[in-house]
Each structure stands twice: as structure tokens, then as C-alpha cells.
Amino acid sequence: IHNDVNVTIPAGEPFKKLETVNGIYSQLLSAGLDRQGTIIALGGGVVGDVAGFVAATYMRGIDFVQVPTTLLAMVDASVGGKTGVDLPEGKNLVGAFKQPQAVLVDLLTLSTLPDVEFSSGMAEVIKSGLIADRQLFELVESQAAQLMARSDADLELLADIVSCSVEVKRVIVEEDPYENGRRAVLNLGHTFGHAIEQVSGYRVRHGEAVAMGLVAAAHLSAVLGHCSSTLEPRISQVVDSVSLPTQIPPAYQAEDIYAAMASDKKKATGRLRFILLRDIGDVFVTDQMSESQIIETLRHCGAA
């Protein structure tokens, strides 16, 4: 490799910002990296998002490869071509679609992942099952303890949940690569989740916020009459079984979370869009709910 350069960035969502991107540009230019170069993103979802955005924009675009080392990145962030950074006003408000040349997954990296980070990734696995794979959801439901143990003997089980999650996303992204339609369903739990992250100052991890958002989406779906009232406790139980929170911390105000949703890029024609559930594996996009119903859902789910 000619003109190779190793760039490291601090861990965590607070560093997923334009200042980080500018610093990387400077290092790549100093190293003489040209348009024939390739960026390899080794790390979690933040690394992949930032590196992908740099690859999409540096010299008007160069190749990049994703090497995700966290469960969340393996099943979600490294697949699908979305890259970007946050602004103070909200998550992922600056970005680009940039497909990696390859995604290389080594499941053995999961053995060194802290428990809280592994649990965070499980939120996206549960989400994938809820969107389009009932068997995946039921696998997590029945094998949660074994999955959380992460022993070498369970590599086949881990491979199953990673491959099934990626397959759900692959099918949907190939149908709608630029999120003009069906791809929006991949945001199940995220309209709630992103707002919770923002209000918490990103002290709440992405997967934790998505987990809260999945429970909230099920509650709102039931309130609006789209699904059975038994779905919320079932989802809540699975979320809890992988050591994820089911309730929004009461330190956060429902009105503040609702206000944070106002800058969500998933809005359409000025209205908030939510992905709601009819059943496991049956989701849809709608903007047909009132502010009071959203506020009630937030309070039901723990917000003050």
C-alpha cells in the first residue's frame, strides 16, 4: 500500500461530527492519499459512519471497505450505504449514500466486546426480526441467555443472527437504496430513539435508545388500533432478556423528546413519520397520529 496512513478517532457518538471529518481530511492530504486510495473502516458504527462519509466526499469520492467490530455495526451500520455525521440539532443530518466495496465480519471480535455494547447491537437484531423475520425474533426470544453468553461454542448461533439481520436489511436496501419508499421501515424505533439520544446528550447509547423506541412504537401501534395490546409486553420482555432498557429514564421530559423529534430528517412534508407494527414481521410507515398521542406514549414509556 502506497501513501498509507493510520487515522484514529475517539470513541463514541459525541465525536461523530464535522470537526472529526475535517481532521481526517487533513491527515489524508498530508499523507498524499489520492483518488486511487481506499479507506478501511475498522471499528464500530461511529467509525464506519465517519469513514464512509469521508470516503464519499474526499476527492469527490474514493473506495472504502467496512470491517465492523461491534455487533451493532455488523448487523446495521456497516450495511446499506448510509454514512454521515451529527449536528447539534440532531443525528445524521449531514451525510451521503456510499456503498462499501466489501464488508468483512469476524465474529471473534465479539468475544472482546463489552456486555453493554453487545446488548446495544441486539436492539438492531430484534428490530430486524420485528420488521421482516419472525423466525429471527423468535430465535432471540428463545435463545437470549445463550446469545448473551457469547461462548465459542455459540459462534454458529451468533452467525445466524448476524446473517439473518443483514439479509433483512439487504433485501430492503436493494429494493430502495436511497430511502424513497420501503427502506424507511428500517427506522423502526428510531424516531423515538434518535430523539432520546439527543436529549440525553448521547449518554444513552444508540442501541439502548432504539430498544426504548421499539417498546414505544409497539405501544403507539396498540393505542392507534394497529396491533394487539399483547405485542408491547412481548417486545418488552425480549428487550429486557438481552439486558436492554424498556423504559425511558424519567430524567428526560416527554416534551423535550418530542421537541427533539422536530429536527428528525425522517419527517415528510413537515410531519413526523413513525414506523408502526401490525404484528411481528408486519410494519408500515405513517404520519397519522397526534402530538398528544406521541406525548402520552413517551410518558407511558417512562419519560416525565
Which H or E element spans position 160?
Answer: helix 155-175
* Each residue's pLDDT tens digit, 1-52: 456 889 999 988 999 999 999 999 999 999 999 999 999 999 999 999 999 9
Neighbours of 7 (CB within 10 A): 16
Q: What is the pLDDT of residue 12?
A: 87
Looking at per-residue pLDDT, the higher value among 246 and 177 belongs to 246
Catalytic positions, written as ranges: 60, 82, 124, 169, 179, 183, 187, 190, 194, 206
Amino acid at 134: R
List the beta bridge partners of residue 206: none
* Each residue's pLDDT tens digit, 195-205: 999 999 999 99
Which H or E element spans position 84?
Answer: strand 82-87
Between helix 206-223 and helix 190-199 the angle, nearest 10°, is: 130
Interatomic CA distance for residues 280 and 259, integer angstroms: 29
Amino acid at 177: P
